[in-house]
Amino acid sequence: MSADLQDLEQKLGSAFHDRELLVRALTHKSLSFERKPADDTFVDNEQLEFLGDSILGFVVSESLIRRYPDYAEGRLSKLKAHLVSAAHLYRVAQSLELGRFLQLGRGEEMSGGREKRALLANALEAVIAAIYLDAGLDAAREFIVSRLVEPSGLPERGMDDEINDYKTALQERTQALGLAMPRYLIAKENGPDHAKTFVVEVRVGSSVASRGEGPSKKSAGQMAAKAVLELLASEAPITARVRS
């Protein structure tokens, strides 16, 4: 095994008995297309990604039930959606420097595959499956809880959720105030294709507007909606204004 993979094992906190599982988890389909042998034995990480997604969902659900036994299903679903989201998986993959360990085809390498959000999120799910197959559910659970659940900034029991559907809340608020329905538009896109950030503007009639920024159009829209909710909650009169 290369020194690079030994370094990754240290980051994962798991020394593999079957190191080929780890290699497979890191192998993108672009490489298998280029090197597929005559006997069709070369495999990529897509099946492991499929398995890892299920393991991740189960362990996160279990962890949330244990941590918040009195939360309603809807509230738990919001927290779970955050923890299993591609954006969260991408951040964790970056913290592990997973991109530098990937095995990519030439085309994917040239197009910046080591920094692509979806590719890194999928690879992390494959690594979770590899840990499960190599060392069992307890090892996979320990990795998921320590890397994806505990450092995620989840709210303490009894506190309001920090992860909310601000767009829905804004729609409900504007309806209650008799205001126009919120309108969203993409104001700006920044950065290369594999690491874009978006600025979304939301307007409520002609009197209130604000902007939000995020790594996806959805998250930027949520941040914009949150900012308008804060404007509507302020004591200042509602006049034409844009918060950037």
20-79 tens-digit pLDDT: 999 999 998 887 666 655 545 568 899 999 999 999 999 999 999 998 888 888 788 888
CATH class of the structural domain 166-243? alpha beta
What's this model's pTM, rounded to 2 decimal places? 0.64
Pick the catalytic residue from 44, 53, 108, 201. 53
125 is catalytic: yes
10 Å Cβ neighbour count for 213? Answer: 16
Name the fold adopted by 3-152: Ribonuclease iii, N-terminal Endonuclease Domain; Chain A (1.10.1520)
Domain parsing of the chain, residue ranges: 3-152, 166-243
| Residues 180-207, mean pLDDT to the nearest whole number | 86
Convert the pLDDT of each residue in 128-161 to its tens digit.
999 999 999 999 999 999 999 987 656 555 444 4
User: CA angle, 216 as apex, 211 and 221 as ends, to 5°?
Assistant: 35
Same fold, 3-152 and 166-243: no
- CA nearest neighbour of 194 among 72, 62, 73, 104: 104
User: In this model, does residue 105 exceed pLDDT 60?
Assistant: yes
- Arithmetic mean of pLDDT over the chain: 82
10 Å Cβ neighbour count for 168? Answer: 11
With beta carbons less than 8 A apart as the criterion, state whether 202 and 225 touch. Answer: yes
Pick the catalytic residue from 49, 108, 125, 201. 125
